[in-house]
Structure 1
Amino acid sequence: MQREIRVGRSESIYEDALTVRKTVFVEEQGVDPEIEVDEHDETAIHLAAYDDGEPVGAGRFRTLDDRTGKVERIAVLADYRDGGLGRAIMGRIEEIAREEGVDRLVLHSQTRAAPFYARVGYEQVGEEFEEAGIPHVEMRTEL
């Protein structure tokens, strides 16, 4: 088993990340496919995690302003959860954020995933809200 995370704006990385996102968000969680792909996909930096060349995880990063980056679309296929892959994707996003010159990261976590983000250093800010029909909370960390 050989795992790697590829990062960039290439079509191949995006397509592989999108395959994982569709499996997790659309098929598993019932998110409307029309809102899973949005205008930020064109400009974001995408991450795709692979196991023996097969896409098994995904993430997306974009800058919001001079200091702040946003973590989005973190997804890991069910068979690969709890194996450290999500943590590895988050670590790589923090590296990208530093390279891009931001020192604060924000994300909208599904409420059920908030404990994971807390374990990797994020704090909840504000109250629960709904996004794509799923309860979420905003979380932040300083780099």
Structure 2
Amino acid sequence: MIGIEQIEMSHPLYKQEQDLRNRILLRPIGLPDHGWEMDDHRAWHFVAVEADNVIGCVILVPLNKGQAQLKQMAVETACQSKGTGRLLIGALLAFARTQQFLEVVCHAQDRAIPFYIKNGFEIYDEPFVEVGVPHHHMRIRL
């Protein structure tokens, strides 16, 4: 059974979260390991855990009083399209509401847009390129 946990950087599962992000997000586009952790110290971390293994992760970074950004969402390849991402998004959005954020934004790669739309996000603004990959601005109002 999959459980969602909110963890700190000092938690033993954080190393697994880092490894997952490196393997699923960074290496495939040629970025160095740990190359996208600049917000980790001020973010809330959510991990999907099955049998003591991190199989998914996402972080929530506060931007301003009413807005936060979903970043670094990754799910093990074998676990994709099985509801893990939906569980992570649900936990992140529930937490964002408790923090009284009005909106959560994200930068979605083209291939992830259907997932975010299915989970209530909408595209806004113009497409852009980030780290050499096409992205879209997306948001959900809480």
TM-score w.r.t. length of structure 2: 0.92
Kept in 1: contact 2:27–2:33 (CA 8 A): no
**Which residue is equivalent to 2:82?**
83
**Which residue is equivalent to 2:125?**
126
Determine the C-alpha separation between the residues in 2 that align with 1:106 and 1:13: 25
**Which residue is equivalent to 1:21?**
21
Kept in 1: contact 2:18–2:34 (CA 8 A): no
How many percent of aligned residue pairs carry the same amino acid? 26
| Structure 1 residues 31 and 10: alpha-carbon distance in aligned structure 2, compared to 1, 3 A threshold | closer
Kept in 1: contact 2:6–2:44 (CA 8 A): yes
Kept in 2: contact 1:16–1:48 (CA 8 A): no
Which structure 2 residues correspond to residues 1-143 of structure 1 after superposition, within 5 A? 2-11=1-10, 12-33=12-33, 35-38=35-38, 40-143=39-142
- CA deviations over 1:85-132 (Å, ceiling 9, x no partner): 001100000011011111211000011101110110011011211111
Query: SS in structure 1 opposite 2:64?
Result: coil
- CA deviations over 1:45-97 (Å, ceiling 9, x no partner): 11111111111101000211111111111100100000000011000000110
Extract unaligned runs of 5+ from structure 1.
none
| Structure 1 residues 83 and 34: alpha-carbon distance in aligned structure 2, compared to 1, 3 A threshold | closer
Extract unaligned runs of 5+ from structure 2.
none
Kept in 2: contact 1:20–1:56 (CA 8 A): yes
Deviation, 1:34, is 5.5
Q: Once superposed, what is the RMSD of the aligned Cα atoms?
A: 1.4
What letter matches 2:138 in structure 1? M
